[in-house]
Structure 1
Amino acid sequence: MGVLESREDWKCPFLRNGFQAGGYDILCGLLFHDESSFLDLEQGSCRFDSPEFVRLLELCKKYGATGTNKERMDEDQCLALMREGEVVIEVASSEKGLAGYSIVMQGLGEEGHVVGFPTEEGSGSYVTSYSYGYLVVNAQTAYKEEIGKFFSLLLDYDNQLETDGKSVRMDVIRDSVYYNPQTERYELLCFSNIGNKVSKELALKPDGSTYLEEFLDFVESCQPVPNIPVQIRIIVYEEALPFFEGSKGAVETAEAIQSRVQLYLDERK
């Protein structure tokens, strides 16, 4: 927040996938990627009525895009704004493993760095599943042996080679990158079996090398997205929306969120 407050004339402080983020989008991006500041689920307590949260609300409203300035910018426009120092944060996401990460990093250039969301602990970089869920097993199941075999099958080296370049095994990711002498470029093996091999070209650094090592380090640093209960997200949305529309003050909004979220947490105890 200190960086935001250092200037009054940011052209585009928050970018997300080519769009200037709205106030509520900024709030969610900062709030729900670090539960330690205002929300303690283990202790069942929250501090949304704190001066810090009121300040966060005001900053999100001040620097968030409105309905009239949400036009999408192309990649060159986004990069130009970042290089001019007119962007505080760009939220980048990749759904295509190493291939997608390489495209993002190539676009950012040598001056771009992945820094993660502002957070009190960890890297601030997160991973989530395609369906926003995870495969879990009941600890009391009577079929642990069968489930173990199923997991082993999913994570088998050969099966992970057939994930379209999105393997969760570091050794498979590393082994999937190879130099193709015919194209004179590095490629990513996406699928391979007898008589059939599918690969794609990788976006490369200016010197022709890959972003493989950077990607592996990035993946190792990632944590699961904090599990914020849906009901808390709904409460924040319902109470914050009138504030961003201009019909409610920041202090009143913070107090309403605090009251409802704390009541929800108390009922869970």
Structure 2
Amino acid sequence: MAELVSGKGPDILYLSREDLLLFQEKGVLADLEELISPDTVQALLPGAVELGRVEGKLVGLPGEMHARTVCPRPEIWDGGAWSVSDILNLAEERGDTVEAILPTDGESLLYYLVLLDLEHSEFIDWEKNSCSFAGESFVSLLETIRTYSLDEAPEYGKDQEMLLEGKCLGVVGYVTGFIFYEGLHEDFGEDMVAAGFPSETGKGNYLIADGILAINAASTHKEAAAAYLEYVLGVQGQSFCSMLSVRRNMLTEDMVLYGREDNKPYLKEGENTRMPLAAKKDGSVYIGQYNEFLESCVPYPDAHTDIANILSEEAAAFFSGDKTAEQTAEVIDSRVQLYLDEHR
């Protein structure tokens, strides 16, 4: 960091999202919209571009990504994105038939329902710099989380079994490529819904990048650095991705071939390579839905680590039975408000 602030350092940086925010705050990152062609940016998935934006300025771009979502069965939920309120209502409606909202323990469920997107939390008013964790709504949420969570995370494959038996509302799905998205449909049915994590924004399918490429604002080789990024983000560069491509429509249905003898679908890869694809009952494939899913994805929410740690620490006493929900909520409210006051 000291080198960059003093106008030195490498031409190209590979940063976590957290470091991207920090480096941009220090003013050491170049504006990529002045260096990368508009056509290249337009060819990228909107969520990939947003991963590199800080307060509206494009200062980084990922080379590859992976996605996370939550998949309910369509008979449980088929309305697209859902909110925390939707999930709590579903748990109440299904009563004793549901063992868990998601097949995980209380601390993890607290993370998914509350801590994951504190930026849009109903319990924090960022404009007024105040919180409302001591109210009945959060107390009820804590009690519901404890009621509809497991003592420990289930064994591998048990979550799928619970979903198919209607014992949970959804399972977390990880998508690192088309084959993994296709696999969700094979596991949960071709009518599987990627509702995403509960969100107050209506967008809960999340993209995550292990690293984001940026250019040093003080670089004397910006054009060469930009040319490298153009290659990485281009069709040829993206063909080497080990995870999700950042480009739109890297897979299209005109790449699908059907076997002469078995009439099964195959994905054409190069001149002589064919990868078998899963087929729906009507013989079609999941590529269109896959591209729609990627278009719906937004960046994984930026963390409010200090506040999340406060909630996790205090909620642990509630989950272990050492404090009531009311006592826990009051302590959380007091500690978070103190933090907000100290960081105005």
TM-score, normalization by structure 1: 0.80
Match of 2:37? none
Q: Give per-residue Cα distances to partners, 1:60-114, cap 9 Å, x unaligned.
A: 01111114x84444476245313xxx3222222222x211101102222144212
* 1:91 aligns to 2:172 (yes or no): yes
* Equivalent-residue separation in structure 1 for 2:293 and 2:188 (angstroms): 16
Extract unaligned runs of 5+ from structure 1. Answer: none
Q: In structure 1, the residue corresponding to 2:175 is in which secondary structure?
A: coil
Higher relative contact order (CA 8 A, sep 6+): 2
* Equivalent-residue separation in structure 1 for 2:255 and 2:129 (angstroms): 46
Q: Give per-residue Cα distances to partners, 1:229-258, cap 9 Å, x unaligned.
A: 222222221111111010011122122222
Identity of counterpart residues, as a percentage? 32
Extract unaligned runs of 5+ from structure 2. Answer: 1-87
Match of 2:227? 149
Amino acid corresponding to residue 101 of structure 2 in structure 1: F
Equivalent residue for 1:81, pick from 131, 151, 165: 165
Match of 1:186? 265
- CA deviation after TM superposition for structure 1 residue 146, in Å: 4.1
* Equivalent-residue separation in structure 2 for 1:198 and 1:267 (angstroms): 60
Distance 1:156 1:257, change over 3 A: same
Match of 2:202? 122
Amino acid corresponding to residue 8 of structure 1 in structure 2: G
- CA deviation after TM superposition for structure 1 residue 188, in Å: 4.3
Q: Check conservation: 1:99, 1:165, Cα contact below 8 A.
A: no
Q: Check conservation: 1:49, 1:255, Cα contact below 8 A.
A: yes
Q: In structure 1, the residue corresponding to 2:283 is in which secondary structure?
A: coil
Match of 1:229? 304
- CA deviation after TM superposition for structure 1 residue 199, in Å: 5.6
Q: Check conservation: 1:243, 1:249, Cα contact below 8 A.
A: yes
Q: Check conservation: 2:238, 2:245, Cα contact below 8 A.
A: yes
* 1:5 aligns to 2:92 (yes or no): yes
Distance 1:177 1:60, change over 3 A: farther
Match of 2:286? 211
Match of 2:57? none
Amino acid corresponding to residue 107 of structure 1 in structure 2: D
Match of 1:64? 149
* Equivalent-residue separation in structure 2 for 1:268 and 1:137 (angstroms): 30
- CA deviation after TM superposition for structure 1 residue 198, in Å: 5.8
Equivalent residue for 2:108, pick from 25, 50, 54: 25
What are the residue-to-residue correspondences of 1:162-177 with 2, within 5 Å?
162-164=240-242, 166-174=244-252, 177=255
Q: Check conservation: 1:98, 1:165, Cα contact below 8 A.
A: no
